Amino acid sequence: MPFPAHHCDHEGVYQPAEDTYLLLRAALAEARPEDMVLEIGCGCGFVSQELAMKVKRIIATDINPHAVRAAKARGIDVVRADLFRGIKGKFDLILFNPPYLPTPPKEKTGQWIDYALDGGESGRQTVDRFIEDLAEHLRPDGRALLLISSLTGLTEVQETAKAAGLTAEVVAGERCFFEQLHVLRLGGTHSSF
């Protein structure tokens, strides 16, 4: 399903791109009308906005204050937060398009956009933090959709999820420039998919 290109007019906010559209397609396929949804790192709020009418409720977060303003301008219920910090409750579906690019220290810009791109030297710094705290925010049959790149290390992310007591199944993918994008569905080991 093609989506029209969307531009975010806020400087320092990640522009919707191939990874955004892949996560959205996976989320639209996964979402149920009764779902309480949390989108971590919502950027300008494009995914949350597209999903809002298909689920019971969606809440979004971003660490970047410019992204929070951009999402609010789209009418998204958004709060400024670093991953799950300060987030209470459990959700049926959690979405995250994390910063997944391996980024040596010399490539950091010191700008807000780093939070959308900089995955640390392995590309998994933020991904690992997300997985570590995910289970305590999922309802018993909850699931999460996590977008990663082949540059991030699919096997390594799946092993991190397994070590955290989560299943990690690839549910969508797309070849893109110099990488393969994957959407992983994460859930508790007792979740039924």
- Domains along the sequence of the chain with CATH: 18-188 (3.40.50.150)
> Of 35, 99, 80, 136, whose CA–CA distance to 27 is shortest?
35
Q: How far is CA 162 from the centre of its chain?
A: 19
User: Could you read off the pLDDT of 114-168 as tens digits, one per residue?
Assistant: 666 666 777 788 999 999 999 999 999 999 999 999 989 999 999 999 999 999 9
Does this model's pTM top 0.85? My answer is yes
- Dihedral, CA of residue 153, residue 37, residue 8 and residue 121, to nearest 10: -20
User: Could you read off the pLDDT of 105-120 as tens digits, one per residue?
Assistant: 777 777 756 666 666 7
